[in-house]
Structure formats: structure tokens, C-alpha cells
Amino acid sequence: MIEMLPEWLLGWLGEDGIATLNYLSNGKHVAWYASVKYTFIAAFAGAALAVLFGLLGAAAKQSSFFILRAIGNTYTTMVRGVPDVLFLLFFPLAFEQSAEYAFAYWRCTPEEIATATSWPLCQAAQWYLGTTEYLIMACVSLGLVYGAFAANVIYGALQAVPKGQLEAAQAFGFKPWQVFWHVQVRQMWVYALPGLSNVWLLLLKATSLLSLLQIIDIVAWADRLGAPNFLPMAGLVHPDWRWKYYLALFVFYILLTLISERFFKALQARVSRGMVRAE
């Protein structure tokens, strides 16, 4: 594939350059580049779920029922006390254990349950978890944790919508949920955008933790690629190059942050068309 490059470029690169390019495009490296899909899936799906959980949490926080308010408040304050790493590790395992527990009572015979000594309680309760399952659970965990942040932001934004509009809608006979959805939520996005862009950046950086959930993502590949290799049969013999790979990831994430910030700035400009902003 390198041969397809124009002559003058090949000449400028020289032999070393071509060897480096060849190395950087071998199967193992291509697998590294391909694994960035996990980062993007986790970021986008996690963000979508975070907005969803944020809306639910904010709605709960401003509800007229004490129980819902309590749930909303507990949800949003919980993440201020517990690290996101803990949630990220805890949630998939908890989900898996609960699912296998449920499977056990559904699929195992009573004798098997009574005589079981180890986990899971019987063979039929096994749940094979592959990368896809872990990825989905990672997305949900990220959505739950950053949903709490988003709930705080959205709650503030909901409060910022002029109350007069809500009262007018009520006077027109809209039901409470209609007032909430069609009037309040519809208008709060412009107030929520700065806070939500912050939450997006936090979420994006949290996707670097996917390797803790046994997903072979860009961080795990950087470790495998950079680790020194001593055996020729296992590939190119090279010393410890990990710092180069991690530096590449460092720059990669900064670029992602740059692009995200540009995007949100443009979005903010578009959404506040016609609004008087104290700028």
C-alpha cells in the first residue's frame, strides 16, 4: 500500500521513513486504529444515555412528589461522592451477577441450586460476555455517572426558563407533562448547552477507562504495541516504545477536545441567534 504513494514523497521519506510507515501500518497497528471505534461508540452512546438520564433526573428533582425529589437528589449527589472508576467497574459486574442470579432461578432445576457450591449456580445460568456486551454495559455505566452531572446542569437550565411561559401554558390547559416537555424542555437547551459541553468533555475523557472493562481499546493496544519485544518470531524486536504511543494518545485526546470545543462554540452561536447575550 505504501507503494501507491507518489515517487517524490517516497524519495523524501527515505528507506527509514518507508520502513516506519510500513511498521505503522502493519496488522497490529491497524487493529489499534480500528479499536478507536470503541472509544467513539462509548462516547456517543454514553452521551445520549447521559442526556436521557439527565432529563429523567432533572425532572425528578423538580417534581411535586417527595419520593421522586428524593430519588433525583440522591442520584445527583451520589456521583459527587463516589469516583466514576468505581461505578464503571461496579456496574457491569453487578449487572452480570444479577442477571446470572435471575437466570439461575429461571433455568436451573431446584436440585442444582441446592447443591451448587460455586458461581454460577448451574451450567445453564452461564452468560457469555464478549466485547459487545461489555461495551454496552460500559455505555450504560458512563450514561449513569455522567447523567448525574447532566441532571445538575439540566436542572439549572430548566429553572432558567421564564416562569411566565410555564404559567401561560398551564393557563391554556396543557397537562403538567405537556408543559414540561413542550415548553420547558424545548427551551432549556440554550441554557444547558455550556454545562452539557463540559459534561461531554468529561465523558470523552472517561472513555479512556474502557480497558478496565476488558475491552481491548486504544489504551490497551498502546500498551501491547509499545511493550518491548525480544523475540524475532513475535515480530519486530524493539525496546520500550510505550511513551511514544502514550504521547500519541495524549495528542489524540487533545485533538478530540479541540474539535468538540469548536463544535459546541458553533452550536452555541447558532442556538442563541436572536437572543441578547451579555458577551
According to CB under 8 A, which residues from 146 to 205 bind another protein? 201, 205
Q: Which of residues 3-42 bind another protein (CB under 8 A)?
A: 23, 26-28, 30-31, 41
Rounded to a whole number of angstroms, the minimum distance from the CB of residue 6 to another protein is 26
Whole-angstrom Cα distance, residue 207 to residue 86? 14
Q: Which is nearer to another protein, 9 or 247 (CB)?
A: 247
The position carrying cell 445520549 is 48
* Complex with another protein: residue 64 or 109, whichever CB lies closer: 64
Interface segment toward another protein; rule CB under 8 A; list 117-125, 154-162, 172-180, 187-195: 117-125
Site for another protein in 206-245 (CB under 8 A): 206-209, 212, 214, 216, 219, 222-224, 226-237, 239-240, 242-243
Count of residues that interact with another protein, criterion CB under 8 A? 79
Name the one residue in this structure whose C-alpha cell is 445527583: 76
Angle at 136 between CA 131 and CA 139, to 5 degrees: 125
CA 89/CA 94 separation, integer angstroms: 9
Nearest distance from residue 26's CB to another protein, in Å? 5
Cβ-proximal residues to 63 (8 Å cutoff; 6+ apart), any chain: 69, 72
8 Å CB contact between 129 and 95: no
Q: Is 258 in the site for another protein (CB under 8 A)?
A: yes
- Residue 127 or 172: the one with the smaller Cβ distance to another protein is 127
Scan residues 87-106 and list those touching another protein (CB under 8 A).
89-90, 93-94, 96-97
Interactions with another protein, residue window 51-70 (CB under 8 A) = 64, 66, 69
Work out how close the CB of 209 gets to another protein at its nearest, in angstroms, rounded to a whole number. Answer: 6
Of 267, 264, 269, the closest CA to residue 279 belongs to 269
CB of 56: closest distance to another protein in angstroms? 16
Determine which residue in the list 14, 20, 132, 167 makes contact with another protein, applying CB under 8 A: 132
CA separation, residue 192 to residues 71, 102, 143, 210 (Å): 22, 39, 17, 27
CA distances from 34 to 5, 12, 37, 117, 249 (A): 22, 28, 6, 42, 14
Q: Which is nearer to another protein, 178 or 214 (CB)?
A: 214
Listed ranges 2-10, 177-185, 189-197, 253-261: which one lies at the site for another protein (CB under 8 A):
253-261
